[in-house]
Amino acid sequence: MMADGLPYLDGEELRRLVGWPDAVDAIERALLDGTAPGNTPLRTVVDVAAGQLLLMPAEAGAHAGVKLTSVRATAGEAPRIQGVYLLLDATSLSPLALQDAVVLTQLRTAAVSAVAARRLAVPDASRLVVFGRGPQSDGHVEALRCVRPIREVTVVGRDQRGVEALPDADLVACCTTAREPLFDSALLRPDATVVAVGSHEPDAREVDTALVRRATVVVETRASALVESGDVLLAIADGVHLDEAIDGELADLVNGRVPVEPGRPRLFKSVGEAWGDLVLASLAFQRR
């Protein structure tokens, strides 16, 4: 499709061009070769009458890009979250393509989680518990299957049915809009891995302070986590020292610079950074 003279990759086309294994591998390659995270400012949030506008620019490798997403405060006929991604040539800054930002975000978020899980989760992790029933939950099931032999999936919704599976879970994915911890982390296996992706607000969290205190904690970057991650910031407010709250960044983990101790839980906290969108938008553009 074309939009004002630019190629437009809709959600269906993005999924055709970038499958889950491709997305996971592309994110990992960018971290291994130093392309990512590149120049990634923090997200800009603008309050408007109907909700919020989220602006996420980045530059990495041969491309730059910016994602503009709108989030409605209330339900209506239009989708609550909408958006577009503009991909640019990094040298000329000429626009190259527009892409569906909602599907791009779904691909990026789950792929980033899977890259972290590839380094954090026990090798034979087969039992996954997912909190949430939306597209991100589905995406995490697919992406995590690319890195671990997942054979059993339990989905926990608002009614909490299925939470009894937690003590047997190797992997837990938190993909919700919760503002308070979803579960008591004492229920987890000693070597369980948790990925928490549902919030980028400093006063909202999906995991409790106890987990942050005892886990190996990896964040995308300290810069974003210390501004946007309520899971980390609220644990620090509860008395967890900064050095305990964050053990390393994702790039450190992928490049072998974060020790993962046996018998200790592992937590990856993602707030969603713009470099991941750019990596996958570039890949889709190159394959179109």
Cβ(253)–Cβ(118) below 8 Å? no
249 φ/ψ angles, rounded to the nearest 5 degrees: -100, 165
Asked if residue 4 has pLDDT above 80, the reply is: no
Q: Residue 285's closest CA among 63, 40, 58?
A: 63
Q: What is the pLDDT of residue 78?
A: 86
Q: What is the pLDDT of residue 77?
A: 84
| Separation of alpha carbons 9 and 226, rounded Å | 34
Q: What is the domain partition of the chain in residue ranges?
A: 2-105+275-287, 110-273
DSSP string of 50-102?
Answer: TEEEEEEEEEETTEEEEEEEEEESS--SS-SEEEEEEEEETTT--EEEEEEHH
Asked if residue 141 has pLDDT above 70, the reply is: yes
The per-residue pLDDT for range 185-244, each reduced to its tens digit, is 999 999 999 999 998 999 999 999 999 999 999 999 999 999 999 999 999 999 999 988
pLDDT band at 283 (very low <50, low <70, confident <90, very high): very high
pLDDT band at 3 (very low <50, low <70, confident <90, very high): low
Q: What is the pLDDT of residue 1?
A: 60
* Contacts with 138 (C-beta within 8 Å, 6 or more apart), sequence order: none
Number of H helices, E strands in the chain: 10, 14
Sign of CA dihedral 175, 135, 80, 5: positive
- Residue that is written with structure tokens 């899977």 in the block: 114
pLDDT band at 76 (very low <50, low <70, confident <90, very high): confident
- Residue that is written with structure tokens 């061009």 in the block: 17
If you average pLDDT over residues 44-73, what whole number do you get? 96
Fold designation for 2-105+275-287: ornithine cyclodeaminase, domain 1 (3.30.1780)
Q: What is the pLDDT of residue 158?
A: 84
pLDDT band at 2 (very low <50, low <70, confident <90, very high): low
Fold designation for 110-273: Rossmann fold (3.40.50)
The per-residue pLDDT for range 12-52, each reduced to its tens digit, is 999 999 999 999 999 999 999 999 999 999 999 999 999 99
